[in-house]
A and B are shown apart, each in its own frame.
Chain A
């Protein structure tokens, strides 16, 4: 017992001395998705090696973006907020509305972010009403994952899948016709409205007008989007099953095309292994001015303490800079948020060896913010859109009727001024 006690005391002293000697500032960092530990742990290690005066301490990860947001809201009431958080793009606005995330324009003004590889387009993803609230840390757009073996079997070219929807849906239909329980394609609806926004944007549309006073997704682009989604099922051989089942079908080699976030490349490659040849491809486009909603997360600073804030700014720049992004990209499939990360010194060799990762980078010019609904009902609006789309998938609602339902229900949930 005495030996134990003295060991403990020695250990504590050593730890105390070590922290006194090195870590002047301790930063609490909170992120969503426990599996993302593979990127967060090495980033912290690399940062602390270069910045011995700062210690990064991670809190237990939240299961997803919205749970992370709920936890932050609860913690804010008890004054226990972390110093830094990686907020999902869709949760940025609700947390800004609640006053948890404050602008960092003062920090940005004293820095030269353009020279450090942050493009105006990337920065705009974390901008609300002209104010900068953080630096994007991971970005993704929906891409097409394809089973190259099935595509070839259906006499398609896996290196050059159709770039127009008519050709694409026809090829998917051919894969479904291969028989033996094979399905043609699966366009994932996710757990919110991200991929529905993607379809509307694919036809050059938007969910609302620029000043967010009126719904626009019920217009021509939206009508084309829901009609196409219906065709996925009637002509493209998309089964009306839940998303997890469809993912299992795809990884088992029984599904031709799978639409999902580019952030899942690494996960898919691991699960599929040698079962079949996995490729990624650009989304077919329904319009010349097609855009895509950006998924992923933003590094935001929550602390008000000036010393901590300065240290947090250093950490955030490190994580979103070339060193951090060189850890993020290969371990996930996200596209880098920093242009320097794409250079020869960092990721260019990796991309040459892993073309599946590069597809989303090619889509970067079309990447736009993940539209966050004004008011307090954003999460429910996303749910309503998701449910109506499921109705189209199941054949219980005609596309036009579903779009009309969505429009009236969403209108009722938007702030009264709209």
Chain B
């Protein structure tokens, strides 16, 4: 739009009536944005709308004919014991993974920022699980967690514990997956916190030192932690979304078992849509999941805005 306005304004010798300029501009703008809009509709909005429409039907993949069932699929989600189980599992997973991976990520970031020698090595090492393919790494975890001759049980055996049937025992499977989730997300949060730490102005620490908060917990509580608030908020929301989206480890390691103990929302969605062919119900799950994640993101934006200005004021 700005580029279009340029030439139009640089021709003062031909003063056109303003409505003509506007109409021409509008036409040009429409012509120029049409390809992008078309692609957007065809590739993003169209399928999304289709999913929304499907979620109100009883469509089954490949079976001709579907009927409109209104909010039936959504009502079923509320009463389906299978969905309730997967919701419970996912909530438990998120409740473990989010605080642990944020706490550990923050701790790792603070420690790494302090060391000068191996800083970049630690950074790379912690970030490795984020950068690598989770599916490939899951296979490595499977070998480590083997119930009889995995590395984990060998190590536990040395101190007289176990063996633990990590992924085969319904009582431990979800916690094991949560452990893998934490292991992966610590690196992700560490990078965010490192960025946050580097943006804290040095003068604040100097000012705090004058006030007597020159080290340790005092300094952390007075300067570091408040200054990291926006980053923490962002990290929390991102980790919650990623926690709710847990899928790969479930597919590769447990397939929702043993005894449904590790079925999570996205796995239920996959099962309903792609194994049981219930396109309508799966669409309803997808739509609900999308709404949930969007709400979370909007909430984060709403919360982050005033906070950022308040901190900005404090810093100046």
Cβ contacts under 8 Å, A76 to chain B: 62
Choice from A97, A240, A380 contacting B169 with Cβ under 8 Å: A240
Asked if B83 lies at the interface with its beta carbon under 8 angstroms from chain A, I say no
Cβ contacts under 8 Å, A254 to chain B: 148-149
Cβ contacts under 8 Å, A241 to chain B: 147-148, 165, 168
Instruction: Pick the interface stretch among A8-16, A66-74, A326-334.
Output: A66-74
Cβ contacts under 8 Å, B146 to chain A: 245, 248
Asked if B167 lies at the interface with its beta carbon under 8 angstroms from chain A, I say yes
From residue B109, how far is it (CB to closest CB) to chain A in Å? 36
Q: Which of A71-99 contact B (CB under 8 A)?
A: 73-74, 76-77, 97-99
From residue B186, how far is it (CB to closest CB) to chain A in Å? 26
Choice from A73, A244, A380, A396 contacting B276 with Cβ under 8 Å: A380
19 more contacts with CB within 8 A, not counting A245-B167, A380-B275, are A66-B275, A73-B277, A74-B61, A239-B147, A239-B148, A241-B147, A241-B165, A242-B168, A245-B147, A248-B146, A252-B149, A376-B277, A377-B276, A380-B276, A387-B257, A387-B260, A390-B259, A396-B170, A396-B259
Cβ contacts under 8 Å, A245 to chain B: 146-148, 167-168
Separation of A252 and B143 alpha carbons in the complex (Å): 13
Asked if B169 and A376 make an inter-chain contact with CB atoms under 8 angstroms apart, the answer reads no
Asked if B60 lies at the interface with its beta carbon under 8 angstroms from chain A, I say yes
Asked if A242 and B167 make an inter-chain contact with CB atoms under 8 angstroms apart, the answer reads yes
List 21 A–B pairs whose Cβ atoms lie within 8 Å, in order of A's numbering. Answer: A76-B62, A99-B64, A100-B62, A181-B149, A239-B147, A239-B148, A241-B147, A244-B142, A245-B168, A248-B149, A376-B60, A379-B275, A379-B276, A379-B277, A380-B276, A386-B257, A387-B259, A387-B260, A393-B258, A394-B169, A394-B259
Summarize A's interface: helix, strand, loop or mixed: helix
Cβ contacts under 8 Å, A191 to chain B: 255
Choice from B62, B142, B148, B165 contacting A98 with Cβ under 8 Å: B62
Q: What 6 pairs between A and B have smallest CB-CB spacing?
A: A73-B62, A241-B168, A241-B147, A98-B62, A242-B168, A390-B258
* Known interface pairs A240-B168, A376-B60, A376-B63; A249-B258 also in contact (CB < 8 Å): no
Q: Which of B246-292 contact A (CB under 8 A)?
A: 254-255, 257-260, 271, 274-277
Asked if A391 lies at the interface with its beta carbon under 8 angstroms from chain B, I say yes
CB-nearest residue of chain B to A99 = B64
Cβ contacts under 8 Å, B63 to chain A: 97-98, 376
Asked if A73 and B61 make an inter-chain contact with CB atoms under 8 angstroms apart, the answer reads yes
From residue A168, how far is it (CB to closest CB) to chain B in Å? 22
Give the size range of B's interface with the partner. 20 to 34
Asked if A394 and B148 make an inter-chain contact with CB atoms under 8 angstroms apart, the answer reads no
Cβ contacts under 8 Å, A244 to chain B: 142
CB-nearest residue of chain A to B173 = A242
Cβ contacts under 8 Å, A97 to chain B: 63
Task: Mark contacts of A364-384 with chain B using CB atoms, 8 A cut-off: 1 yes-contact digit, 0 otherwise.
Answer: 000000000000110110010
Of residues B63, B147, B148, which shows the largest number of chain A Cβ atoms within 10 Å of its Cβ?
B148
Q: Which of B54-73 contact A (CB under 8 A)?
A: 60-64
Separation of A74 and B259 alpha carbons in the complex (Å): 30
Separation of A239 and B167 alpha carbons in the complex (Å): 13
Cβ contacts under 8 Å, A383 to chain B: 271, 275
Separation of A100 and B61 alpha carbons in the complex (Å): 12
* Known interface pairs A70-B274, A379-B276, A380-B276; A249-B170 also in contact (CB < 8 Å): no
Separation of A181 and B170 alpha carbons in the complex (Å): 22
Separation of A379 and B142 alpha carbons in the complex (Å): 26
CB-nearest residue of chain A to B254 = A242
Cβ contacts under 8 Å, B170 to chain A: 394, 396
Cβ contacts under 8 Å, A99 to chain B: 64
Cβ contacts under 8 Å, A181 to chain B: 148-149
Cβ contacts under 8 Å, B167 to chain A: 242, 245
Cβ contacts under 8 Å, B149 to chain A: 181, 248-249, 252, 254
From residue B274, how far is it (CB to closest CB) to chain A in Å? 6
Separation of A244 and B170 alpha carbons in the complex (Å): 16
From residue A237, how far is it (CB to closest CB) to chain B in Å? 13
Asked if A391 and B61 make an inter-chain contact with CB atoms under 8 angstroms apart, the answer reads no
CB-nearest residue of chain A to B143 = A248
Asked if A242 and B276 make an inter-chain contact with CB atoms under 8 angstroms apart, the answer reads no
